[in-house]
Amino acid sequence: MPLLDGRLLITPPEGSKDSARPHDIMGAPPSAVAETRLMVQQGAAKLVVFSEEVFARPGPDLVGALKDADPRVADLPMTERTLARGLRAVIVSHPSLRAADDVAPVAHAYTVLPDDTLQVTHVLVNSDVVRAGSSGCSALAERILASLRPGPRKLDLAGGVKDVGNGYALTLPPAFVMIHEAGPDFDVYRVFPLNPISTPTGQLGIYFGGHASFERDPQAKAVAGKLFGKAVTWQEARSGAAVRRETLVEFDGGLHAHVFLAAPKDVNADELQHVAETLKKR
């Protein structure tokens, strides 16, 4: 069964079905390019296999980078393995499961695809499984994750001009990835620069629709910019070194473009803003 829209393949647990992650009815469902979810349910008991793109490269020391990047797994046992078709993986296991949690993670596989990009696949159970006795969960998770193998699809890392709907286009540098989330009456495009996981870089978002969730903040710092060939003012907020910028462009017919970015540092924010400013009419 394909995961991540064919980027990753798995031998699914018996009885599993595709099960998209629940989302707000007013929001866009997650892109199948970015995440895939399988679920097995027997009565109240549930097992979930959830794969997601990390939108990063592994770097030379994946174990060390994972310990630094994610405190939730930093102290858990990690094992480097080679799976089917040469797929490199770091398996992270949870020695004990907690029935007090609604969802209990059992194990994770961080996998390095042939294009040197990184995904993570999680195996999780709900509290009903833990209360019923979870002694076999770790072995089952191990078998599921051991079946992972690379699929035929690769990320488009070439850069260049990309359609973003409504007759507009965006130019991406090489090693940037864009995904599309289609809502009921709007579209969201997300852009990620692919750097080593040890080097956070942030992301850019572009919303096209008639009901943008943008609110003007007179206390925010004003940053000059240009979108769609028009002068705009970004409003900027900070938390330590981290930066958030957003702005709203209104078009005829009630269409809005809400453009927003979040980055760990000014240099990353400036890079993402520069990409956003390539937006233009096709």
184 with 99, same domain?
A: no
221 with 140, same domain?
A: no
Q: What pLDDT is attached to residue 23?
A: 63
Q: Tell whether 171 is covered by a domain.
A: yes
Whether the model pTM is above 0.75: yes
Q: What pLDDT is attached to residue 254?
A: 86
Widest pairwise Cα distance in the chain? 61
The residue range of the domain holding 134 is 2-150
Q: Rounded to whole angstroms, what are the CA distances from 203 to 29, 76, 117, 124?
A: 18, 28, 16, 27
Q: What pLDDT is attached to residue 51?
A: 96
- pLDDT tens-digit map of 225-256: 999 999 999 999 999 999 999 999 998 888 99
177 with 269, same domain?
A: yes
Q: Tell whether 155 is covered by a domain.
A: no
Burial (CB count <10 Å: 0-12, 13-18, 19+), residue 30? middle
Q: Coil, strand or helix: which one is 79?
A: strand
User: Which residues, 6+ apart, have CB-to-CB distance to 196 below 8 Å?
Assistant: 56, 57, 58, 59, 65
6 with 146, same domain?
A: yes
8: pLDDT confidence band, cut at 50, 70 and 90?
Answer: very high
Last residue within a domain, chosen from 150, 178, 203: 150
137 with 19, same domain?
A: yes
Domain at 101, CATH number: 3.40.1000
Q: What pLDDT is attached to residue 194?
A: 95
Q: What pLDDT is attached to residue 27?
A: 66
139 with 232, same domain?
A: no
Domain count, the chain: 2
24: pLDDT confidence band, cut at 50, 70 and 90?
Answer: low
**What is the distance between the alpha carbons of residues 156 and 136, in angstroms, rounded to a whole number?**
39
**What is the distance between the alpha carbons of residues 109 and 203, in angstroms, rounded to a whole number?**
24
- pLDDT tens-digit map of 174-233: 999 999 999 888 999 999 999 999 998 899 999 999 988 888 888 899 999 999 999 999
Q: What pLDDT is attached to residue 62?
A: 94
